[in-house]
Structure 1
Amino acid sequence: MSQPTDNKKAITVGIFLFIGLVIFLLGVFTLGGQKKTFVKSFTLKVVFDDIQGLKVGNNVWFSGVKVGTIKKIQFYGTSQVQVILSIEEEAHKYIHTDSKASIGSDGLIGNKIVVIDGGSPKFPFVEDGDVIAVNTTLSTDDIMKTLQVNNKNLVDITTDFKILARNMVEGKGTVGTLLTDQQLADDFKAIVKNLETTTASANRMAKELNAFSNKLNTKGGLADDLLTDTAVFAKLKSSVAELQKTAASAAVMTENLNKASGKLNQSDNAAGLLLNDAATANQVRGIMKNLETSSKKLDENMEALQSNFLLRGFFKKKAKEEAEENKQ
């Protein structure tokens, strides 16, 4: 009885061992597939100032596709960290020497990853062991720090707006006074109304000026002829020249009249002597009076001669001839 029982136990143990070995092999191949353990690969190196929590085994992404894992992390220089990446050989033909690496996250709060961009096709492809540059874009931590600073600034701005709104409601400051003082509000309304009136007047004036300019541009009008017709402009120019000549002649005449009037005010000429010298004027009056007296006496003498019998016939004949001439 003991021998069959031992055989049964051995068979049972063998089955469990076989199942365990199968599970172990499946796990190794599964994990190896996930870690790209059995895939041909090459290495790249990146030197970071801060790896932000990267760990060995974290993934490497290229254009949104997982192409490798972090193979090793070690200190470099004085305070930097060198990260050695294991990249699938299949991605070799896409990564150029000007490619850059940066640290990202697998989701918002996921594991840290290394992200590589492709670079420019004019540069050659990377080789095994090459060091690629670091992309200096903002990391997630930097973004969070910036957001924290922005949140603080937003809180400060909100507080300031709250104080400003309270002051406005309480009528403090210029804006608060404008909002609460009825007289100022009425004055402001009056100013706005005056501005509206002024704007309307300006618009009306602009329309009138436009209409006036259209009239000036009307064909056949005097203004249009003056502005566009060279013949009319030449005639106008000639007329202006003639007016200038006439004005010059009038100026000369005025000057001559001024000189003549000046002479009349002086006593060194006959007219000026008659106008300004009282003695000469009295003499002239005496001469005129004597001439008047002489003329009267001459009339009397002529009348006496006509009455004389010796000359009476002569005067009658003379009168008869004058009468016939008047008839003819």
Structure 2
Amino acid sequence: MSNFKIELSNEVKVGLFAIVCGIVLYTGFNFLKGIDVFSDHHTYFIEYDKSPDLQVSNNVTINGVIVGRVSAIELLQNQNNVVRVTIDLKDNILIYTETIAFIADKGMLGDKQIILKTENKTTIAEPNATLKGDIEDGLFASLATKADPLMKSLEQTLDSVQMVLAGFRGTGERVNQMLDKTNSIMSKVDKGGIDQTLYNVKVMTANLKDASAELTPLLAKMDHLADSLNNAPLTQTVKNAQDVLANANRTLNAINDPNGSVGALLTQREMHDQLVSTMASMDSLLIDFKAHPKRYVHFSVFGKKDKAPKEDKKK
């Protein structure tokens, strides 16, 4: 039996070697990026207003687990420059229509990733579906947001410091003026005013000495007066005054008491009106008594009754 040998030319060998190298290179490159080229995957689309620093081959994670990668990023100019991101996920990963894809920081170096979050799991999204997209504030964005009011406060503080420094400048000028005036006064004093000042002080001291000698008897009298006040029966006097005030308060309370005569007269309007009416009646009676005394008093020497006045007879 004859042996069958296949002879390949050098060109064919080079071509086969190039194909094998290309396959190995493609497989190795995707393996290093965490992509399993031998497994099936599902494709989904996400639309963003912008995609800050997102790149092809960035990871897609759910709860920190890598479930896919970004396979394409394109700008849709016919849709108001919306950014469409294509992601490839493992075929065993379930995606829901309520899932939101957040572009978030991957670490401190500024790398990006897409985080899939689902709150309500109702309907499963089919492959090639379009998901909702959003952008999560990263560490630097949060720091910038918090630093903005801090910077405004710092600017206000610097403005206040500048105002204070400006006030200090004006104060320094006033201090310099005061120092100049002090130097001027001291120079005048040095020219001969010190001797006169010392002489005036000496005279003032002598006057104070004479005055203190005159004040000694006065102080002795004041001490005697203080002793007299200490020996005075002030306690008994104060007690007597308190008793007088207490009696006055009881008298006033009795007067203000509506159950008493004076209190009733002062506080009850009816008694006042009756008293006024009684006084008016007594006044009318006195007037009538003066005008017609015989109506009320009859004198008979012989035991006979006086005749009634003519006015009564007329009546």
The normalised TM-score by structure 1 is 0.45
Rg bigger for which structure? 1
The normalised TM-score by structure 2 is 0.47
Which structure would you say has the larger RCO, counting Cα contacts within 8 Å and 6 or more residues apart? 2
> Could you say which structure has the higher helix fraction?
1
